[in-house]
Chains A and B, each alone.
Chain A
Amino acid sequence: MEEGFNAYRQSLESEEQSIKSTQSVVEQAIAWFRAHSMFVLAYGTGCGAIEMPPTFTSRYDIERLGVVGVATPRQADILIVSGYCSPKTLKRVIRSYEQMSDPKYIIGLGSCTINGGMYWDSYNTIKKLDDFLPVDMYVNGCMPRPEALIEGFVKLQEKIRLNSSEAGYIKYRDNYAHYRANQERLFGAQVAPSYEENFAGMN
């Protein structure tokens, strides 16, 4: 048995193989198409938005991976929460996320989405985005470099190709009560209407 990075990689690959063996060819093909076409919602929620133009333009050109920006949540697959969220922003982020159609994924960009980052003692930012919305991929740093964001996308691609049940939108559907309770605690009376009835009719 090898040790170190290679062993870790091999264990990941064998895990991938075992998940893939349970899926039909059609499922795998669909997952491949999903991984190679990712529409990102154009919503710069925080300072991380400043590194998104370089990522999307000619220096780093993330369109090579099939990632493009779209204007409306209806057509988007990926929501990038770029940095700290004040409650007022979070409310809009949640509504945008709930308007997106499945399958959908969230990338938390910057340290602020993980633990508050620079604003750990601020009275007006949330400290952990995952309490309110299911985050699929974190990219840490303040600012994360464009390369880091691209790495995040590549990792997310791998995750989508695995087609696993760990995806955020499934978690959100299954544990809606948990997320909803956190949202209610934060927003109090101003919480957005419940999203639950939209789950009816889905598997």
Chain B
Amino acid sequence: MERKTITIFHGPQHPGITGNMSVELELTGETITKARTHVGYLHRGFEKLIERRTVIQAFTIVCRICVPEPDPNEANFALAVEQLAGIEVSEKATYIRVMVLEMARLAAQLLWMAGQSGSVGLGTVGQWSIYDRDLILDLFEALTGGRVYHMYIYPGGVRRELPEGFLERLGALLDYLQKRLVEYDRLFFDNASFQKRAIGVGVVKSEEALHLGYVGQVLRGCGLKRDVRRDNPYFNYAALEFDIPTQSGGDVFARALVRRAEMRESIKILRQVIAQMPTEGAIMQKLPKHRKFTLPKEDTYVAVESARGEFGYYMAGDGSEMIRRMQVKGPSLIHGFTLLESLLVGEELSNVALIMNSLGICPPEIER
């Protein structure tokens, strides 16, 4: 017997969608038989805009490519420009960069926790974790002057010296967060009702995960130990000690557990950074004058590990002061299309928000 299907748009105006995108779902009852991702709501044409900008002009807009965690964009941009222009960065600036990136990772994981818990109606976790994220944003504000967009990691170093007593404040915040993480475990990760919802939902098979180019927690959630910080170290991650947590389940809960362990690893890295931070040294290299800052006719690909997986930039110069081409490869593109569309088939409607949040899909980065 043929069953009647209805087509609905899950988004863009929907509380259960991760940002401004939509998924077109074909439903039989509440079971999804077909899913299609629609994007284009956020296209601003970054890659084209950057072609018409000098390095310093382009620097101001790259952080806006991904809103929940802008810092990997800045790091990528700085790395690419430094590789092309042959700029060496001082040790102190490198440490500060690692610190900023790890703080951003913590903030992004806390934001993810709010989304993930909200998707199963556990609003309390979101209220708490957004508060704790705000404490990190306060530190960002002291350091960079901005809460969300920092524009701090600049080619050649970082833009400002550490404020007085910043590392002590960071240390105190880490102590606080370490205590809070135990409470999050009790309320969220060890909560039987969340486990009941998350276990066995959205299972990614490990054999197809590498083959189709999935990154981040999706890979680590199905047992593959991949992390750009370890595989292809940048800044001074090679000198820092940290683990790469993995889980074998491949489902939403496995990815949640990977993130839970990653928050603790970030705290570990930050503590090492605080202990090893050089007191002396320049934070900024001398750069050519703005109009004379030319990039040679070469290209490069750089990648950093964002809170959701490998975040890569391809950049090419053509000998002029403009950037000839810059391509962004974020984790959301592959997760939001190939993975999401196949994972949703056969799932219940109630699991759409759950799966989308656990894949860490961020639409502004899909369409740039």
Contacts and interface: CB of A to CB of B under 8 A. Distances in A.
A and B touch in the complex (CB under 8 A): yes
A96 B13 contact: yes
Given A42-B13, A57-B127, A124-B45, 11 more contacts: A43-B12, A45-B12, A45-B20, A47-B148, A49-B67, A84-B44, A86-B41, A89-B12, A122-B49, A125-B44, A143-B147
Interface in B216-264: none
B13 A59 contact: no
Per DSSP, chain B at the interface is: loop
A194 to B, nearest CB: 21
Interface of A: 41-47, 49-51, 53-54, 57-59, 69, 71, 73, 84, 86, 88-89, 92, 96, 118-119, 121-125, 142-143, 145
Given A44-B19, A86-B40, A118-B60, A92 B148 contact: no
B64 A53 contact: no
Contacts of B15: 42, 69, 71
B130 interface: yes
B54 to A, nearest CB: 14
Please provide the 8 A-B residue pairs with the shortest distance between their CB atoms, ordered closest to farther.
A47-B67, A57-B130, A43-B13, A89-B41, A143-B148, A42-B15, A59-B134, A57-B127
B176 interface: no
B52 A58 contact: no
Nearest to A45: B20
A88 B41 contact: yes
Interface string B49-76: 1001000000011001001100000000
Contacts of A122: 44-45, 49
B126 interface: yes
Interface residues of B, number: 35
A53 B68 CA distance: 11
Contacts of A45: 12, 20, 41
B293 interface: no
B128 interface: yes
Contacts of B111: 53
B214 interface: no
Contacts of B19: 44, 49
Nearest to B53: A121
A86 B44 contact: yes
B48 interface: yes
Given A53-B126, A57-B130, A124 B64 contact: no
A143 B131 contact: no
B182 interface: no
B44 A53 contact: no
Contacts of A41: 13
Contacts of B48: 123
Contacts of B114: 53, 57
A124 B148 CA distance: 23
Given A45-B20, A59-B134, A143-B147, A119 B44 contact: yes
Interface string B31-45: 000000000111111
B20 A46 contact: yes
Contact of B64 (A44, A47, A57): A47
Given A49-B19, A86-B41, A92-B13, A121 B148 contact: no
B68 A54 contact: no
B131 A57 contact: yes
Contacts of B152: none
A89 B60 contact: no
B41 A51 contact: no
Given A59-B134, A143-B147, A124 B13 contact: no
Contacts of A43: 12-13, 20
Contacts of A121: 49, 52
Interface in B105-138: 111, 114, 126-128, 130-131, 133-134, 137
